[in-house]
């Protein structure tokens, strides 16, 4: 089992550590690799798109030829977890700012996103969030967080704050507006790993 973390920018080492911790808790074996260049995504069984700056990430993924590899592996059924900027990149549609700037999105998930849904007043905050796949709330850390503002019929909403969707899945895609890699609670990574280890890609 090989899990890739896109390492162009953003919370990379935190994700690597969180994955390693979660994998050892399960008593399973997996190799975690960081990805900066073309050629590695096709060698992976699962992928993490971390937080960061979605415009920069999107541009570099395209320029490095990684974006097309991700699309192809998605079609082949590879589980992908996108957190924060990763949730934005997974989306089919952005907000007006995304459209105006022709920002590059991977466009895999039938969602529309608002890049900075919580505005300046709430740049970063933590909250006890109810998630559909957990039986007790999760302390979720939000940093200049986006939200899903429209979800297609195939998208399952897993968590929301007011009417802003902050956790969702669609088949092998798993998107979170917060940063599960910044807390020691592994339950969100475990949920993703359940998908990864049960996936017969």
- Residues of span 160-199 touching ligand GLN by CB under 6 A: none
- Residues of span 35-94 touching ligand GLN by CB under 6 A: 51-54, 84-85, 88
Min CB(197)–ligand GLN separation in Å? 26
| 181 in active site | yes
Nearer to ligand GLN by C-beta: 4 or 146?
Answer: 146
Q: Which residue of the set 14, 74, 181, 189 is catalytic?
A: 181
> Helices 12-26 and 187-198, interaxial angle, to 10°?
70
Nearer to ligand GLN by C-beta: 35 or 176?
Answer: 176
Question: Contact 18/181 with Cβ under 8 angstroms?
Answer: yes
Give dist(CA 173, CA 56) in Å, integer. Answer: 21
Please list the residues that pair with 178 across neighbouring strands.
none
Looking at residue 130, the DSSP 8-state letter turns out to be -
Q: What is the largest CA-CA distance in the chain?
A: 47
Looking at residue 86, the DSSP 8-state letter turns out to be H
| 74 in active site | no
Q: Which residue of the set 15, 74, 104, 179 is catalytic?
A: 179
Contact residues toward ligand GLN (CB under 6 A) are 51-54, 84-85, 88, 115-116, 143-144, 146
User: Which residues have a catalytic role annotated?
Assistant: 84, 179, 181
């Amino acid at each position: 089992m090989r899990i890739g973390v896109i390492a162009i920018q953003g919370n990379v080492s935190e994700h690597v550590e969180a994955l390693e911790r979660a994998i050892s808790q399960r008593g399973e074996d997996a190799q975690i690799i960081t990805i900066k260049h073309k050629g590695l995504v096709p060698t992976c069984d699962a992928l993490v798109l971390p937080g960061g700056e979605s415009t920069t990430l999107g541009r570099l993924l395209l320029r490095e030829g990684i974006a097309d590899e991700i699309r192809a592996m998605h079609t082949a059924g590879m589980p992908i977890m996108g957190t924060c900027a990763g949730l934005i990149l997974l989306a089919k549609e952005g907000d007006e700012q995304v459209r105006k700037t022709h920002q590059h999105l991977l466009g895999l998930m039938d969602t529309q996103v608002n890049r900075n849904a919580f505005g300046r007043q709430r740049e970063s905050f933590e909250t006890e969030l109810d998630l559909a796949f957990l039986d007790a709330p999760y302390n979720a850390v939000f940093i200049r967080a986006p939200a899903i503002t429209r979800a297609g019929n195939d998208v399952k909403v897993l968590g929301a704050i007011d009417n802003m969707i902050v956790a969702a899945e669609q088949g092998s895609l798993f998107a979170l507006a917060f940063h599960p890699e910044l807390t020691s609670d592994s339950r969100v990574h475990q949920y993703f790993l359940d998908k990864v280890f049960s996936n017969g890609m």
